[in-house]
Structure 1
């Protein structure tokens, strides 16, 4: 029995912002996962573990096969599903994935030991704020799927380690549509996330050193490309 996530946790991620009929169509018509990825999807849904939704899985297949990154960083391992997905569709990549949730780390270690057949994935345990400062590798693809209010906190360190032309994907950035509301309409317990995400948007969407796009898929993706070596972020 998984204890880390209650039935009410992260409720906004369960509210896709795309029309429900279209979401249902995507989730029933896009290619299904197979093998161990399918097994992990079933386990995650059963235990209420927030892994990426099926339409994002399909998008990652396309994205990774197209970009073929060589050095991938992931912040937010959970049970290792997305790291294993990236390993499958970027077979030449080395992947570093970071998490601090002890229960999730236990599941991830087990899954990586069983399914990371090419030994592509390195799991780093600890708080990302500390781990990111100690990394000495440059990355050309970064997937952010951790605490949403911390995305803006992690961004400066991530950009230092992202190659020019590299891509960052931030998951769950629409918060069930909350980010389009006035803050007074947002539940009090969600306002820290709201503020953090708006700071992230302010820092990236119109930044001349970045190319940014908001993707209305699942609970939203923010994608940014690093265009210059020294990215200037607002204070």
Structure 2
């Protein structure tokens, strides 16, 4: 997880743009964003691809393209790539649709209809209820709250949910969430494999050094990490 999306703990990116700190800004800043959210959710619910495939598709964006585009443009890139790769619709067909789209035909953020179609009603349920990713397993967890663990040094091109700045860091297991489906198995093989999930607590000085930590107040960082990312600290 070391692409342009993995910016945690990275220096030199400048301050957060002020508009993004505004709690009253609209949920969708541009007309296409709400549609992009709905299209992605419908494709996942319809079985075209799964959430981890969609996330990995974003990770494959070229750095320059990623950093020069907004959040839902990342979704658009991934969805178009997945639909093309799976033979559902080609890049050329999408380009032709864009070319022939009538000017001014895109209404920004249309209101919710009073009567929903069966598909729309299903999608509202998916969007509001979410999709649980916990998986039943007889496999016992390796760790328990209070155990000291070390994050593995993982540098792979495959999909994972490990922030790069946590590589080799030592922390303490704070909570065990049970087993959830493994994101790599889901993204690359479209199968649900159990992987125990933990919240791990890290000391700020261990992550960023005492000079940086001294000016940041009293806090710890908590990260949700899969068992396959962890080893006992004394191993």
- TM bin, normalised by shorter chain, reads under 0.3
Q: TM-score, normalised by structure 2?
A: 0.24
Higher helix proportion:
1
- The structure that has the greater radius of gyration is 2
